[in-house]
Structures are given as structure tokens and as C-alpha cells.
Structure 1
Amino acid sequence: MKAMVYRGPYKVRVEEKADPRIEHPNDAIVRVTMASICGSDLHLYHGMMPDTRVGHTFGHEFIGVVEQVGPSVENLSPGDRVMVPFNVYCGSCFFCARGLYSNCHNVNPNATAVGGIYGYSHTCGGYDGGQAQLVRVPFADVGPSRIPEWMDDEDALLCTDALATGYFGAQLGDIVEGDTVAVFGAGPVGLFAAKSAWFMGAGRVIVIDHLDYRLEKAREFAHAETLNFAEHQDIVVEMKRTTGHLGADVVIDAVGAEADGNLMQHVTSAKLKLQGGSPIALNWAIDSVRKGGTVSVMGAYGPMFSAVKFGDALNKGLTLNMNQCPAKRQWPRLFEHIRNGHLKPSDIITHRIPLEHIAEGYHIFSAKLDNVIKPVIVPS
């Protein structure tokens, strides 16, 4: 099959790889019909996540058609059109039984915290992802679901991570009716978090970013107020000023590790092995929220040597809620919003790129060229 492979920071290309095969009776093989590049893929692309191995195939957002199933699979059949959540999980361990699919205890031998994630670093289990023609899907009776007949493929694709994660970020904010909600980051997840905040009763939503075209999208798609932090000497002071000098009730960090890379990585194309990025956005969130408020974090972070303002969070009496999103847990609510016309996830898609041109897709997305918001990858 053809698949995207990682060859080092800023280096990806399409190569021929062996077709995946059934390795366990509950596996399925899915022929990918659509995938996408996620903002957290850029952390891998920039060499910011530990144990990202040469030869790995990225891609944790994908949909497709079932080609083959193992002998124990009961819920899927060849020919089924399926959406696959980005979490790999068993469905039966202590954590899965409590809906914490992203913390599954049985799918990742490399970490005790996060479960498995398709197409991410080997700290997340080392599962090849969906930026390829075919992908092996473990626990096929648990994760994948048939796409509802009424749902468009592109809408289903965005439910596999970006939409579910944005919605989850708003959930983690414990939004109370009338709350002022600030969202750092106007990428796809931030846009979906801002949109979802209204569903949960927000009285005011403010999105902060430094790219004018993304802020314009936040106004159009999420109906949010916007602030360009590059236009203010101190974005925290501006946030206090615009919230009556109290701070927002809820702040959502939809940035995570610096997706644009740091200076060392840009100059040397090298990575600092254990540095998962900078906590700038997280510290802004802690400083911008009011005393007694809530900070929601669902951006991708690795280990950091830089200081997080934990003392400030303590002294302000903040609630910090965070996790990787258990994507499938969000689907019933999201399906209703989509079916009732309250939400059209595919409205944020700006680029549709053939798999063979994926290197150009990563360059466009990384460099924020051509007003890119969300690129979709289409295998041939």
C-alpha cells in the first residue's frame, strides 16, 4: 500500500509499505477513504514529541470501508462504512468501564497514563495511522462505528477527533449558564470548542489567536468575539480589561505544545529529546481566568522542563480539568447537533489533498499558507 512515512523533523513522504494484516482475532483492516492532518500531527512533524520513530505512519483522524475482519469480530462486516475514533482502547478494563477510553490500561505498553492513539509517537503505543491506503484497527468491536446513512463523510471524519476534542474541551470547562468563556487557539479544535461552549450555556465566547484569517473564521463559524494577542503588549492584561478586571469564568487551552515549533527546531531541524513544547498558552490560561474559575486543557503536551504556574493556580483556587478526549463518548450528543442542523463540522475544511501530495499538505498546514484551517487527505 501507499502510506505517509516520517523521515525526521520536517520530513515526510509517501512510500510503499507492506499491507497491514490481521494480527489478533478482534482486528479489522479498513481501507481509508478520507483522513486529515491534525494540529497535533504538527508536534510530531516538528520533532517535538518523544519517541517519534522514523518509518512511522501518522494520522489519527480517518474513516473508511471495512476490508477484512478477524474471526472474533461480531459488530462489523466487510463493506461497512466506518468512522474510527482516534483512541485505541479495549472497552473492558477499569478505565474503559468508566468511559475513560483515552486512558485504557491494556493497549499501550510504553506509558501508564495515556492509552493508545493511532499514528502518534510510540509513547502512545506505536500504532500506524490512517494517512495511508489501509490501516489495522484493533478491538474492532469496540472503537469503530458504522457511519449513519444521513451523515456526510467529511462530517464523520471530523467527529473522529477534532470536533469530539473541541466539544470535550468545553465539557471540561464545567460551563454554567451565562459564563464568559475564553478559548486560546483558533485552529480546528479551538473553533469547535468555541462553538460547543454556546451549546453549554455560555453567555460570551472570546477566541484568542495571532492569525487574522483564523480569527475571522472564529467570528464566522463560532460567532465568537476575537482578540489578536500579537496586537496587545500583554494579552493577559487585555483579557482582564475586557472582563471587568476579573478574568474569564472558563479558559480553554486548545493550543498545547507550541505547534509552530521552537527556535532551536526551526534553525537546526532537531528536537530536544524530552521537551514536549512550551507552556505559554497554559500559563496565559492560568493568568486569564478569574479566581475560582476553571481551566480546561486538551491540547497535546509532552514532558516539559519549562515552569507551569502551578502556584498561581493554587493561590487563585482554580479547577484544572484535562485529559485526552474519549472521542466515542461524545458521539451521541454530537450526532444530534449535526442531524438537527446546529453544527456542520465540515465548514472548517479548507484543503482537500491527494495522499501522494501529503508532504506539501504538511508544509501548507505547518507554515499556515493559503489561509489553511483544516486539510483533508484523500488516498487514491
Structure 2
Amino acid sequence: MALNAASNLAEKVLGRDYSNVDTITDVSKPDAAAGTADTTETMKALAWFGKGDVRVIETHKPKILEPTDVIVKVTGTTVCGSDIHLLHNVILQLKAGDILGHEFVGRVSELGSAVTELSIGDRVANSFVVSCGECRFCKQKLTTACEKTNPSNVHGDLYGSKMGGIFGYSHFVGGYAGGQAEYVRIPYAAQNLLKLPDEVPDEKGLYLADILPTSYHAVQDTGVYAGDAVAVWGLGPIGLLVSMFAFKAGASRVIGIDGNFRTEFALKKIPGIEVLDFTKLPRGRTVTAEIHDRVPGGVDVSIEAAGGEYAKGWAHKIELAVGAEQDTSELVNEAITSTRKFGRVGIIADYVGFTNHFNIGSLMERGIRLIGNGQSPVQKYWPELLAMVKSGEIDPTFIVTHRLKLDDIAKCYYVHEKKEQGMVKAYIETRFSAPRAPGIDMPELSRL
């Protein structure tokens, strides 16, 4: 596999040769020739074949490899904003044919011999991060720091230590085949699956796999308290849910920042939110100046939920294009300078590696607490979030704008990428999906 520009930068900075990354251990073992797939049955799945190229393919159904595995028959999946990073090939160690998807719900269809906590037919949501449940971090419920589920040496070299594996998100995080498919193998199944009660339909349970815990974690980990003024960069699904949870935590004001139709969507969906469309600011007017005008001195808390891939200025656009940096620092800098002295900035958006022009002076001199939220330890939040969904206290379906078939999932990537057709979040059915649950406030099934 040819490394992309981001990988080449990591290679230069770290002084290591990653030309042989194709030889890393693939713990997902998706190769039928190696005896790891059920060659008697096929399934549809969404696979990556290169930058800008994802396709629905027919492939072999996975089979149980370890006694702690189960096979889940997928009944609902989705496309995440972070999946678009895969489409753009900015995540290291992708291989042609990798099956994508880290958020899904389904039914248990096969059990490993050591699995006693689950039964055939159980409805389940997955944890997007694969964790063992046994290492010192898992025992602290810091499951995304699992020490057993990611064999990528590149990951450890780039970050200083490895984090846990992730379903459907490249060999940089373990090479696990994902759930944008009709079947998926779940390692350490009792640890990585949440049983869904009858009161929580698939349309709501799906978002317990990632975006509900991720958004809740950003607010909890950064620290949003009663009376705080909060600014949120990015009004995709994570930013919208962060805004919701910030209000639930007692924030007095939430200002959502974006540059497209999602600002209007937020106004319709989140009572009390204020929005800032940076594309409509007068020439020369900065986001920071606008925030300080609205909240003199700056907000108490800023949360970056957009990501480092999307440059605004020409300098960062050039540096990203030629591989001189892996992420732009522009939004993090805006968040730092928009925050009051001794305030808090949380980063929940995906950042891959190195950045240029970081405003470290403002961070240090004004005492800003910069918090890398990390990938959310999903299991830590499952009990309280499941209770909130079950009781109706929160309903994640307010972010869903499309309901589609798996056959359309590749098109969904491209629509999502271009922010077309008003797409915020899609619920994607497979041939195993149940009929639409009664009382669900989301669009009817459609085609792209």
C-alpha cells in the first residue's frame, strides 16, 4: 500500500520506515483464503478501494474465530462524519477491500462457545471501539485505551502509545471489519455489545454505538457546568448532540458555529441555541471577534466537533495538500482565542497527527485548559444513556434526515461529503431490518 501524504509526514518526523505497514498483524482476519470466513454464505458490505472510492460489494460472511466472538446480523447502520476521513484517505493504513462502518445494531445470530451473557436473537448495539474488558484501562472503564485490541505499531509510534481497536476504521486501529454490512464478527462480544430492551427500537439504539456516548463524553470530560456559556465548532451530528447535552448540563448559552445549512437545522432542532455562520461574517471579521462581541471576555467552554481536515485559509490548504501537516490548527486556534482566561477547550473532533501554526502562546499565557477528549469510552456511559433513551428523556432521532437501504450507502458517503440534500445523519436498513418502529420521528425510506 502506498502511504499517503500524512503518513509520509509521520515517517519524516518520527524517523521510522513505514514502507512495510502491509505486514502488520490483521486481528480482524477478513481473508476467506485464510479460513476466516464462511464460504458457504455471502453478504453485502461497503468496502474502501482508494481515495474517493467506496463500493457495495458481495463478499463472504464472517465466521466465529475465537470462543468469545459472536456474529451479529446487522439490522441498522449509518455513515459517520469521521467515515468521510476514510473516503479522503487521510487515515493511515487503509487497504483496498476493507469493510467500513463502526456504528450498527443487530441481532445475535451465532455464539462463540465461551459467550454466556448473550443469546441467539438478542437485539444489540455495538461499541465502536473494540476493547478486551480485562486490561488495566478496561477495568477503569477507559475502554478506548484498551491495550490488547490494536496491533498497529504505527499507531504506537505516532502517538506514544496505542489506543484500542475500532470497527471498520483501517488497520491503524486494528483492521476490524466493520458493520456497514449484513453481518459482522464481534470480538470480546460480552464486552462490546449492549443488549437493547424492547422499549428502545433500532432507530434509537443505533446511536448508542458512538455519537450519543461521544457527545456526552465531550461535555462531561471538558466540563460544562451550570451557567456556562459554551461555543461548539461544527454542527454535524456530534456538534448537535454536544449542544443538546451542554444545555442539559446547565449551560446558559450555547453558540453553534458552522458554514452551511446545518446552522438553520440547529435553530429548528435545539431550543435556545444561537448560531454563527462564519461564511456570512463581513470580510476581515473573525469568529473570535464575533464570539467576544456576543460574550464579552469569551465563552467559558469551547468544544471542537468539526475536525482538522477542513482548512479555511490558503496556507493550511497548501500545507495539507503537499503533506506539510496532517491537520489544520485553525479551528483549535479559534476555540482557544474565543475562550475566556482560564477557560476550557475540549477536542472531540478527529485529528490524525501533526499541525502547524498552533497558537501555543494564547494557550499558555491565558491559562486555557486544552483537553484532548480522546475517543469516548462507550461502556462507561451506556447505563445512564440507555436509561435516558429508554425513558424518553433524550431522543437521538432528531438528527436523522434520511432513511436509506444498504444498496445506497456508497452514495450516502458522497452526499455526506458534499453536504448535499440537507443530509445530517442517515439511518440505513439491511435486508434484516425490522419495519419502521411506531412513533419514530424520522423520514420515510427513500433512495438517493
TM norm. shorter chain > 0.5: yes
Distance 1:181 1:99 in 2: 27
Q: Which residue matches 2:388?
A: 337
1:376 CA displacement: 2.1
Distance 1:275 1:53 in 2: 22
1:64 is paired with a residue whose SS is: strand
1:299 is paired with a residue whose SS is: coil
Amino acid at match of 2:382: W
Deviations, residues 352-379 of structure 1 (Å, cap 9, x unaligned) = 2211222211111111111111022222
Distance 1:171 1:328 in 2: 14
Q: Which residue matches 2:267?
A: 219
1:261 CA displacement: 11
Q: 2:69 aligns with which of 6, 9, 27?
A: 27
Q: Which residue matches 2:162?
A: 113
Distance 1:13 1:277 in 2: 27
Matches for 1:153-168 after TM superposition, within 5 Å: 153-168=202-217
Distance 1:262 1:78 in 2: 53
Q: Is the 8 A contact 2:310 2:328 kept in 1?
A: no
Q: Is the 8 A contact 1:34 1:377 kept in 2?
A: yes
1:195 is paired with a residue whose SS is: helix
Amino acid at match of 1:241: D
Distance 2:93 2:322 in 1: 11
Q: Go from structure 1 to structure 2 and tell me whether the alpha carbon gap of 1:352 and 1:207 turns closer, same or farther (over 3 Å shift).
A: same
Matches for 1:138-217 after TM superposition, within 5 Å: 138-211=187-260, 213-217=261-265
Q: Is the 8 A contact 1:253 1:298 kept in 2?
A: yes
1:278 aligns to 2:320 (yes or no): no
Distance 1:84 1:263 in 2: 40
Q: Which residue matches 2:289?
A: 237
Q: Is the 8 A contact 1:43 1:259 kept in 2?
A: no
1:294 CA displacement: 0.5
1:328 CA displacement: 2.1
Matches for 1:255-294 after TM superposition, within 5 Å: 255-258=306-309, 276-294=326-344
Distance 2:145 2:151 in 1: 12
Q: Go from structure 1 to structure 2 and tell me whether the alpha carbon gap of 1:145 and 1:214 turns closer, same or farther (over 3 Å shift).
A: same
Amino acid at match of 1:205: V
Q: 2:87 aligns with which of 30, 45, 50?
A: 45
Q: Go from structure 1 to structure 2 and tell me whether the alpha carbon gap of 1:22 and 1:47 turns closer, same or farther (over 3 Å shift).
A: same
Distance 1:201 1:3 in 2: 42
Q: Which runs of 5+ in 2 are unaligned?
A: 1-42, 156-160, 432-448
Amino acid at match of 2:136: F
Q: Which runs of 5+ in 1 are unaligned?
A: none
CA RMSD of aligned residues (A): 2.2
1:262 CA displacement: 10
Distance 2:120 2:304 in 1: 40
Q: Which residue matches 2:353?
A: 303
Q: Is the 8 A contact 1:286 1:295 kept in 2?
A: yes
Q: Is the 8 A contact 1:192 1:222 kept in 2?
A: no
1:79 aligns to 2:111 (yes or no): no
Q: Which residue matches 1:364?
A: 415
Q: 1:66 aligns with which of 100, 108, 112?
A: 108
2:56 is paired with a residue whose SS is: strand
Deviations, residues 59-85 of structure 1 (Å, cap 9, x unaligned) = 101000111111111111111110101
Distance 2:112 2:325 in 1: 39
Q: 2:374 aligns with which of 323, 331, 342?
A: 323
2:139 is paired with a residue whose SS is: helix
1:39 is paired with a residue whose SS is: coil
Amino acid at match of 1:114: M
Amino acid at match of 1:176: Y
Q: Go from structure 1 to structure 2 and tell me whether the alpha carbon gap of 1:31 and 1:10 turns closer, same or farther (over 3 Å shift).
A: same
1:252 aligns to 2:300 (yes or no): no
1:259 CA displacement: 5.5
Q: Go from structure 1 to structure 2 and tell me whether the alpha carbon gap of 1:65 and 1:273 turns closer, same or farther (over 3 Å shift).
A: farther
Identity %: 37
1:4 aligns to 2:46 (yes or no): yes
1:297 CA displacement: 0.9
Q: Go from structure 1 to structure 2 and tell me whether the alpha carbon gap of 1:66 and 1:277 turns closer, same or farther (over 3 Å shift).
A: same
Amino acid at match of 1:125: G
Deviations, residues 77-109 of structure 1 (Å, cap 9, x unaligned) = 111110101010011111111111111001001
Deviations, residues 302-351 of structure 1 (Å, cap 9, x unaligned) = 01242332332122111122211111211222223223333210111111
1:58 CA displacement: 1.0
2:110 is paired with a residue whose SS is: strand
1:273 CA displacement: 7.0
Amino acid at match of 1:16: E
1:14 CA displacement: 0.9
Higher mean Cα deviation, 280-289 or 6-15? 280-289
Distance 1:208 1:319 in 2: 20
Q: Which residue matches 2:17?
A: none
Higher mean Cα deviation, 252-261 or 109-118? 252-261
Q: 2:403 aligns with which of 317, 339, 352?
A: 352
Higher mean Cα deviation, 87-96 or 322-331? 322-331
1:221 CA displacement: 2.2
Distance 1:108 1:132 in 2: 22
Deviations, residues 209-264 of structure 1 (Å, cap 9, x unaligned) = 111x31122222222111101112211110111101x1110000111222599999
Q: Is the 8 A contact 1:43 1:257 kept in 2?
A: no
Q: TM-score, normalised by structure 2?
A: 0.80
